[in-house]
Structure formats: structure tokens, C-alpha cells
């Protein structure tokens, strides 16, 4: 009996050791569209909690990072384990192509079902809205999207291109679907000399540097730079803002699913959400307080958008946009 | 220096030994030829093959692509920008080269150094510096109250800015080429004209310019090819306002559509190669005609000595360089010293945090530094060795192959980086035959492209050094029974080592801040400094990108300074700024 007990204890210990070893270690590669310093802080915080995991990241605009990832997946040689990009529309596309791994055990019970995937393929990590940025010295303080069509904004508006930025694509789709004028709004913007190119970073630089006075941009960039002293202001226009949830997902061909799951768990945990808030983002978790400079989540009016439908019209919308703004 | 003519005069023993050493050097020759073929020939053949496959299988689509509004517009933009920048580079570079060659300027060495430094500053850094200088938030213009009001578009964005920055950036190229022509103008010609009572201006117009006309043409073609292929300047100054050139178009296609766009990119690259190739061939033809040997005569020396002429010229040159080289770099420094882009620099806002914290905390930037050091260092070391072997073989054993090997080596260097990068992608897109591994998406593909691109740079000084070596010493060693490896190690290498080192260091300087190739070839973990800079700009982190640009430029400037202070160790003409201003 004692022998049996001893064997049992040894076996249990061995089992524990084995399952412990299978837990969370090894390497993890993150493909992300987050700005460099945020991506760095995110993985630093994760690695502080899981010191046995070595995370590297690759950063580029959502469209570009996706092009890179797709190319690598086709070649069957992508190092990517986890994907953290701007928008759920791109995630829908990845899920449709069978590139993502479902993670049904992820704890997202506290999150708004409206920003979630019922299949549990991707998970919201924050709320990023697109509104209007203006240079502090601008003569007009815009309060509405239509203010950008005024004479005072002629040739003074910079905006990111949906051909480069995932957030910009969703923003365009939300605007077209929710503004009365639809595409007519963008046609008038183009007539008013608005310039559309590159990503949100370029828009911020143009407005902060005074080369343009107004811009459409994701809110965290100007709010954060303003805190550092940059001459920019951000407004949530009265018609509402578009929102993306910066979803995270696990690649189906990950070599380290345990670490990938831990990474997802970390981002959607209260700790991870507080870290997002500390980086100057609006957390997606309703219980976590937004950072300074943001109105409470309840006061922001978000223009609704259906990701599945947005996916189906994405290509046509990009072409339409390129048409209006004369891009190739 | 023709070996054939001297052979019959050699003693029997040498002839016999020569035949023996032909076999002995065979292995090295085979290795060298294989390296040149793999690095420089196969990628180009692959590009042409891929493009012609696309042309054949989808003729209609290919023609539609090449005649699409986007490609036509990009082609037109490329030609306009290349021509405009060439004109500017010719005026500026020609004037500087003439002033340095004809006038006794007290600070000519410093002027030449500064001028060539502006060429070695990466194009994307130049573009960033000028953009920072001219915009409404320009630290320099704001300090003197001259900044345009907020809401003014940056004048550097768009055609005019691209042409200005590119013209100034390529002016040193023109100056070096024209300068090498000027150095060969026989001194006697100038002296004769002066004795005849010609004024300096007359000497320049009637004597010097006609003699160096082929050099001027070659300089024009060189600047034009550089303009067609330049990526960094139109990427930073053109893409934000929708001005695309062929190289930025290829980049955007690949960046946004991935591998699906590779065949379209191959076609457009071939178009770039075609445009550049016409100029390259024309320039090679010109160079082959330039056989007026003036070796026996003494080259021209500065003949304008009157202080009344040289002092204003000297002041003018310093003023011009201050505005076109120093000021943009200073404003870049100023931009890197504020907490966020757009903040006015003053004592209260001054911070070194971009240098001390922000940049260093990011693993990406640290990795980019490590990567650029590794890639450019490895390329420099490998190419130094290869160019030594290649120069020896070409000079001593493969003289029959010289006319084939050298143009093949020149090809990837002369063609724009975009073309080389696309050729490498095509070559390595699929796993290598037999080995079954792929280097696509790894650091190896970047290293490969660097080796292909910069072999010509490393080879140039070594070939010049080897071809001036006397044969006696090697002959003696041969008779003593020293094998080829021993002879190369103990006799040849020590004699040409300075040139080998100079060639390697030039490769390092060029590869360290390189962007065009790595922008197309980078992947997870293989970001270079150039890619990191583009990425920071893209993410809206202007102050950080300025700081990175300054650090990267400082490395190049420091290395150039180190080379300059030890220039006695290097043979003449191994350092490009010395070429502009020989002893």
C-alpha cells in the first residue's frame, strides 16, 4: 500500500511537472499594427508576467503587415503566432480563410457582445475611434464632420488612406453608411482639396507640424502627443465617431498555442486593459477607467458597422475611395 | 600592362611556371567566376525570364499594366524628376568640381569632405532633413521668424522638393566624375594657354571643358541613372502627396499586395531597368572611347591663385554648403530634441529623451542597429575577400574574361536597388532546388542582395591596385617554389591590403544606411536602420525618427572622418572625397 501511495504521489508529481512544462514558455512572434513603442510596452508587460516566453514583434500598417503575413502563409513559412491589428474586418477575412485558431475558453464575459466574435476567433483589446484633429493655431474649431467641407478647411485636411490603414477603411465605411451624404461626403472632401495618403501617423505629423490644419485621425495619437506638448487638439464630432476594437487573434499554424493563449488572456484581463489605458487608449473592458483626456465610454457616440458586411464590400469601397481621391 | 605582349620576352622558366600556375590558380578562378555568376548574373537573368514569361502568358494583361494610367504617370514622373535633378546636380556638382580643381582654396579639403559627406548621408535622411527645414514647424525658420504660417503646405513635398533634394544629393556624384576628368587634363595644356595670355575663364571654357566633355556626359548619365533609381527621396517627399515614381510604385504595390503583386512588380522593374540600362550602356560606351591616355603627363593643378578670385569663391562655397548641407542636418537635430513633433524648441522643451530613452527602449530600433551593423559588416568582409581574389584572377589569369566579368559585376551596382531587390525575390521566392530550403524572408536574402549590389564598389580600388603591381616579386617567389596561396597571402595581399580595406569600408558605409533593398526584402526580425526610420515616420513619431536619422548619420560621418584622418594609409583615389581633391 505504501508502495502504491508512493508511486501515486510520484506519478502525480510527474504529471504536474509535465503539464507545467507544457504550460507557457518558448518563443512567440507577434505581428502588429500598433505603434512601435506601444507594441514594445505590451510585450514587455507580458514578458514580465511570463518570463519564460520570449516575444518578438513585427510592426507595420495593417494593410502592409497583412500583405507580408499573407505572402508568408502562402509560402508556408510565417513565424507569426499572434496577430494584433487595427480592425475586425481584416480578422473576419482571416477567419473565413481558416487562418485563425478558435479559443472558446477565453474569458470575455464582461465585454460588450457587439464588439465580439461569436466564434471566438478574435478578441477586442481596446476601442480606437476616429475623429477630427486640428492644429491649435487653426482659425476654426471643427465640431462636426461637415465642418471639414467649409471654405476655411480648403486644402487643409489630411486623412489616412484606406489603401494603407485598416482603421481608415473602417472609418470610411462607417462614415459612408452613417452620414446622410454617403459617398457624396467624400466627393465634396476631395473637391475641397483634402489629401488622402498613408496612415494615421502621417496625418498626425502633418497637423502637428502645421502643414495641414485639420485631419481625420485615430484619437489616441493626438491625445497622447498633446499631453507631451504638441500643438494639437482632438474632437469627437457630433455625428459620432467610427470605432475599431484592435482585435487580437491566434494564428491557426502557431507553434506555441499555450503561450499564444496566455498572450490573449493577458490582453483581455483587467491587468492588460489597465495597461492599455495607461498607454493612452480607451479600454474595451467596461470596468476599466479610460485615461485622462478621454470622455467616459458612455458619452462617445459610435457609428455602427457590421464587420461581415464591411468585409464583403471592402474591395469595392477601396476602389471607390481610390477613384475619388485619384490614387493608384 | 598587357601580359600577352610581355610573355614572349620572359625567360623559359617563367613561361613554364606560368602554364603550371594556370592550372594551380584554376580552383580560385572557378570559385570567383561562380561567385560573380551567382551573385550578379543569375538574379538579372531570373528577372528578365520572369518578366518575359508574364509578357508571353498574359500578353494582354502585361501590356494593359505597362500602359495603365498609373504606370504611365509614374514613368513620366520618374523621367521628369530624374532629368530635373540631373540638371541641378550638373550645375552644382560641375561648379564645385571646377572650383576645387582650378582654384587654390585654403579649405578645399574640408569643402570636398563636407560635399561628399552629403552624398554619404542616406537619401531618406536628406529628404527628412530638408522637409524639417522648410515646413511651418521648422526649428531654424521659426528661430529667425521666417517660418511659413501654419496651414502652409511643406514646399519640399511634391515635384519641386524632390528635384531640389535629389539634385543636391547627387551633385557630389557629378563632381567626383567631373573631378576625375579634371585631374587628367594635362598640365601642359593649361600652361600653354596661360602663356598665350588666356584668362582663367577662357582656359576653362576653351581648353578644359572640351577636354573633359566625355566626363561631363558620363556624369550626366550617372546622375540620371541615380535619379531614376532613387527610392528614399520620392518615398518621403512624394508618397505623402500622391506623387509616385516607378521605384516607389513597385514598393507600394509589394507592400500593400504582397507576393500576389510580384509579377507586376517584375514587369515594372524591368521597365526601370530598361530606362536606367539605356543610360548605363551609353555611359559605358563613352568610357570605352575615353582612351586619350595622359598618364605620362602631369595632371592639372589649381591655376587661379589670386585672392581676389579665390576668396569670394571660398566664401560662396561655404555659404552654399551651410544652407544646403549643414542647415538641414541642424534642423533635424533640433527636431530630435523636443518631446513631441510640433513642439517649438527652446530651453524649456529641450530634451534628450529621444536619444536616452525612447529609441533605446524599443527592441525594434536596437535590432535594426544590430542588423544593419551585421549585414553591412558581413557584406564588407565578404566582398573585401572576394574582390581581392577577383581582382587577382581578372588581372593575372582571366584576362580573356575581363570584358565579360567586369560588366557583369557592374550590372547590379549600376541598376537601381529596386530592380536588384525584385530580382532577388524572384530568385528566392521558391525553395532552392536540391537544397529545398528558402532564404526568402530571412536575413540571407538581404545579405545576398548587398553582395550583388556592392561588389563593384569593393572591386574598383583593388583592381586598380592589383593592375599596377610589378610582377617581379611574384615571379621571384614563384621561382622559389612558393605556391599560389602562399604568394597571394605573403606578397600580393600585403601590397594591396589598403585598397582591399578601403573597398570594404566603402561597402560598409553604403550598406549601413541602405534603404531601397531592405525596404522590399525585410521580414520579421530583419529590419534595417532604413526600414526602422520609414516605420517611425509612418507611425507618426517624428521626433524619434529624427533622432534615429541623426545617430545613423553620425556613425557614417565618424567613419568617414576616421578614414580621412588615416588617409595616408590608403592609396590615392580609394576614398571618393580624395578623388575630388587629390594631393
Q: What is the pLDDT along chain A (328 residues), one digit of tens a residue?
A: 555 555 555 555 544 444 444 568 899 999 998 888 889 899 999 999 999 999 998 888 787 888 889 888 887 778 899 999 988 888 988 998 999 999 999 998 888 887 888 889 999 999 899 999 999 999 999 999 999 999 999 999 999 988 878 789 999 999 999 999 999 999 999 999 999 988 899 999 999 999 999 999 999 999 988 988 899 999 999 999 998 889 999 999 999 999 999 999 999 999 999 999 998 898 988 889 888 888 887 788 889 888 788 888 988 998 899 889 876 4
Q: Which helix (H) or strand (E) holds B549?
A: helix B542-565
Angle of the A166-178 helix axis to the A183-191 helix axis, nearest 10: 110
Do the Cβ atoms of A208 and B342 come within 8 Å? yes
Give the three cell numbers for residue A101: 485558431
Residue A49 CB contacts under 8 Å (≥ 6 apart), including other chains: A266, A271
A 13-42 residues inside an 8 A Cβ radius of B: 29, 31, 35-37, 39-40
For residue B259, the chain A residues in CB contact (below 8 A) are 70-71, 74-75
Per-residue pLDDT band for B290 (boundaries 50, 70, 90) equals: low
Q: Where in chain A is the domain with CATH 3.40.190.10?
A: 2-126+245-294, 128-243+302-324
Cα separation, B571 vs B573, in Å, equals 6
Give φ, ψ of A53 to 5 degrees: -100, 130
pLDDT at B127: 95
pLDDT at A1: 52
Asked whether the predicted pLDDT for residue B68 surpasses 50, the reply is: yes
pLDDT at B406: 86
Candidates A195, A205, A208: best to mutate against B (most CBs of B within 10 A) is: A205
Residue with cell 462617445: A300
The string of DSSP letters for B419-449 reads HHHHHHHHHHSSPPTTT----TTSHHHHHHH
Q: What is the pLDDT of residues B74-118, one digit of tens each?
A: 999 999 999 999 999 999 999 999 999 999 998 988 999 999 999
Query: Could you say which of 3.40.50.10610, 3.40.630.30, 1.10.1270.20, 3.40.190.10 is the CATH number of the domain covering A2-126+245-294?
Result: 3.40.190.10
Q: What is the pLDDT of residues B21-48, one digit of tens each?
A: 455 667 888 888 899 999 999 999 989 8
Candidates A209, A212, A226, A325: best to mutate against B (most CBs of B within 10 A) is: A209
Give me the residue from A40, A57, A230 closest to B341, CB to CB: A230
pLDDT at B507: 94
Average pLDDT score over residue span B53-68: 85
Cα separation, B429 vs B46, in Å, equals 11
Q: Give the minimum alpha-carbon distance from A20 to chain B in angstroms, rounded to a whole number.
A: 29
Q: What CATH homologous superfamily does A128-243+302-324 map to?
A: Periplasmic binding protein-like II (3.40.190.10)
pLDDT at B297: 65
pLDDT at B347: 81
Cα separation, A302 vs A236, in Å, equals 10
Give me the residue from A37, A77, A205 closest to B341, CB to CB: A205
Do the Cβ atoms of A199 and B538 come within 8 Å? yes
- Is residue A57 less than 8 Å (CB to CB) from chain B? yes
Q: How far is CA B170 from CA A270, B121, B323, B329, in A?
A: 55, 11, 16, 17
Whether residue B373 contacts residue B552, with contact meaning beta carbons closer than 8 Å, is answered with no
pLDDT at B146: 85
Task: Look at B15 and B267; give whichever has higher pLDDT.
Answer: B267
Residue with cell 459620432: A240
Give the three cell numbers for residue B221: 548619365
% of chain B at pLDDT higher than 70: 93
Do the Cβ atoms of B536 and A36 come within 8 Å? yes
- Is residue A210 less than 8 Å (CB to CB) from chain B? yes
Q: What is the pLDDT of residues A80-101, one digit of tens each?
A: 999 999 888 889 889 989 999 9
- Is residue B305 less than 8 Å (CB to CB) from chain A? no
Amino acid at each position: 500500500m505504501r508502495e502504491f501511495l508512493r508511486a501515486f504521489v510520484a506519478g502525480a508529481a510527474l504529471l504536474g511537472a509535465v503539464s507545467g512544462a507544457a504550460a507557457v514558455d518558448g518563443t512567440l512572434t507577434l505581428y502588429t499594427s500598433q505603434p512601435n513603442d506601444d507594441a514594445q510596452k505590451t510585450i514587455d508587460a507580458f514578458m514580465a508576467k511570463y518570463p519564460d516566453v520570449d516575444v518578438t514583434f513585427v510592426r507595420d500598417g495593417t494593410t502592409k503587415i497583412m500583405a507580408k503575413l499573407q505572402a508568408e502563409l502562402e509560402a508556408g513559412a510565417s513565424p507569426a503566432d499572434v496577430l494584433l491589428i487595427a480592425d475586425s474586418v481584416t480578422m473576419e477575412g482571416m477567419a473565413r480563410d481558416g487562418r485563425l485558431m478558435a479559443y472558446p475558453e477565453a474569458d470575455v464575459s464582461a465585454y460588450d457582445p457587439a464588439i465580439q466574435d461569436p466564434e471566438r476567433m478574435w478578441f477586442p483589446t481596446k476601442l480606437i475611434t476616429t475623429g477630427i484633429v486640428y492644429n491649435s493655431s487653426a482659425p476654426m474649431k471643427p465640431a462636426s464632420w461637415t465642418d471639414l467641407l467649409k471654405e476655411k478647411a480648403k486644402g487643409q485636411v489630411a486623412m489616412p488612406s484606406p489603401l494603407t490603414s485598416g482603421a481608415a477603411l473602417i472609418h470610411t465605411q462607417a462614415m459612408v453608411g452613417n452620414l446622410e451624404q454617403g459617398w457624396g461626403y467624400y466627393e465634396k472632401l476631395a473637391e475641397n482639396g483634402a489629401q488622402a495618403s498613408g496612415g494615421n501617423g502621417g496625418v498626425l505629423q502633418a497637423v502637428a507640424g502645421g502643414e495641414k490644419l485639420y485631419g481625420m485621425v485615430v484619437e489616441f495619437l493626438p491625445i497622447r502627443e498633446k499631453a507631451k506638448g504638441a500643438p494639437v487638439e482632438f474632437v469627437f464630432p457630433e455625428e459620432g465617431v467610427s470605432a475599431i476594437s484592435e482585435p487580437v487573434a491566434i494564428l491557426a499554424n502557431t507553434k506555441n498555442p499555450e503561450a499564444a493563449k496566455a498572450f490573449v488572456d493577458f490582453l483581455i484581463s483587467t491587468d492588460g486593459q489597465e495597461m492599455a489605458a495607461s498607454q493612452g487608449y480607451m479600454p474595451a473592458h467596461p470596468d476599466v477607467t479610460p485615461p485622462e483626456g478621454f470622455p467616459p465610454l458612455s458619452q462617445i457616440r459610435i457609428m455602427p458597422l457590421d464587420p461581415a458586411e464591411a468585409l464583403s464590400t471592402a474591395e469595392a469601397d477601396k476602389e471607390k475611395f481610390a477613384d475619388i481621391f485619384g490614387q493608384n | 600592362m598587357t601580359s600577352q605582349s610581355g610573355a614572349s620576352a620572359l625567360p623559359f622558366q617563367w613561361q613554364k611556371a606560368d602554364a603550371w600556375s594556370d592550372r594551380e590558380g584554376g580552383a580560385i578562378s572557378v570559385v570567383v567566376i561562380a561567385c560573380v555568376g551567382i551573385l550578379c548574373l543569375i538574379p538579372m537573368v531570373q528577372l528578365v525570364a520572369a518578366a518575359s514569361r508574364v509578357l508571353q502568358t498574359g500578353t494582354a494583361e502585361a501590356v494593359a499594366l505597362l500602359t495603365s494610367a498609373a504606370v504611365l504617370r509614374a514613368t513620366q514622373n520618374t523621367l521628369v524628376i530624374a532629368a530635373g535633378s540631373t540638371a541641378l546636380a550638373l550645375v552644382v556638382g560641375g561648379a564645385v568640381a571646377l572650383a576645387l580643381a582650378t582654384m587654390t582654396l585654403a579649405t578645399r579639403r574640408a569643402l570636398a569632405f563636407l560635399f561628399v559627406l552629403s552624398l554619404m548621408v542616406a537619401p531618406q535622411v536628406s529628404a527628412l532633413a530638408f522637409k524639417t527645414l522648410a515646413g511651418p514647424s521648422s526649428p531654424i525658420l521659426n528661430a529667425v521668424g521666417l517660418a511659413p504660417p501654419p496651414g502652409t503646405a511643406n514646399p519640399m513635398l511634391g515635384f519641386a522638393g524632390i528635384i531640389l533634394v535629389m539634385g543636391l544629393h547627387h551633385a557630389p556624384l557629378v563632381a567626383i566624375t567631373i573631378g576625375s576628368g579634371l585631374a587628367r587634363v594635362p598640365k601642359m595644356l593649361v600652361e600653354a594657354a596661360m602663356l598665350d595670355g588666356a584668362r582663367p575663364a577662357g582656359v576653362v571654357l576653351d581648353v578644359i571643358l572640351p577636354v573633359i566633355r566625355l566626363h561631363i556626359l558620363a556624369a550626366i548619365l550617372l546622375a540620371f541613372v541615380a535619379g531614376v533609381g532613387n527610392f528614399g527621396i520620392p518615398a518621403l517627399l512624394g508618397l505623402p502627396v500622391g506623387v509616385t515614381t516607378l521605384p516607389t510604385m513597385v514598393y507600394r504595390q509589394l507592400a500593400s499586395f504582397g507576393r500576389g503583386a510580384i509579377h507586376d512588380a517584375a514587369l515594372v522593374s524591368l521597365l526601370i531597368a530598361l530606362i536606367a540600362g539605356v543610360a548605363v550602356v551609353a555611359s559605358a560606351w563613352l568610357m570605352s572611347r575615353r582612351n586619350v591616355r595622359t598618364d605620362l603627363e602631369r595632371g592639372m593643378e589649381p591655376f587661379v591663385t589670386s585672392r581676389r578670385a579665390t576668396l569670394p569663391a571660398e566664401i560662396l562655397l561655404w555659404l552654399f554648403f551651410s544652407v544646403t548641407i549643414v542647415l538641414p542636418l541642424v534642423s533635424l537635430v533640433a527636431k530630435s530634441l523636443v518631446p513631441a513633433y510640433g513642439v517649438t524648441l527652446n530651453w524649456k522643451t529641450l530634451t534628450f529623451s529621444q536619444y536616452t530613452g525612447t529609441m533605446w527602449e524599443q527592441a525594434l530600433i536596437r535590432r535594426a542597429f544590430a542588423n544593419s551593423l551585421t549585414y553591412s559588416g558581413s557584406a564588407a568582409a565578404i566582398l573585401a575577400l572576394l574582390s581581392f581574389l577577383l581582382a587577382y584572377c581578372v588581372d593575372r589569369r582571366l584576362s580573356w574574361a575581363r570584358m565579360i566579368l567586369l560588366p557583369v559585376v557592374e550590372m547590379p551596382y549600376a541598376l537601381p536597388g529596386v530592380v536588384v531587390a525584385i530580382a532577388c525575390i524572384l530568385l528566392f521566392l521558391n525553395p532552392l532546388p536540391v537544397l529545398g530550403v528558402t532564404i526568402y524572408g530571412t536575413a540571407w536574402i538581404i545579405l545576398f542582395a548587398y553582395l550583388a549590389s556592392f561588389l563593384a564598389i569593393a572591386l574598383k580600388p583593388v583592381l586598380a591596385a592589383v593592375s599596377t603591381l610589378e610582377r617581379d616579386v611574384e615571379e621571384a617567389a614563384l621561382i622559389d617554389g612558393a605556391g599560389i596561396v602562399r604568394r597571394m597571402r605573403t606578397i600580393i595581399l600585403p601590397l594591396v591590403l589598403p585598397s582591399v580595406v578601403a573597398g570594404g569600408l566603402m561597402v560598409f558605409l553604403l550598406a549601413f544606411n541602405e534603404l531601397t533593398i531592405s525596404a522590399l526584402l525585410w521580414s520579421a526580425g530583419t529590419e534595417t536602420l532604413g526600414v526602422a526610420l520609414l516605420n517611425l515616420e509612418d507611425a507618426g513619431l517624428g521626433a524619434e525618427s529624427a533622432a534615429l536619422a541623426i545617430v545613423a548619420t553620425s556613425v557614417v560621418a565618424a567613419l568617414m572622418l576616421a578614414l580621412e584622418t588615416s588617409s595616408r594609409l590608403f592609396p590615392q583615389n580609394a576614398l571618393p572625397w580624395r578623388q575630388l581633391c587629390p594631393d
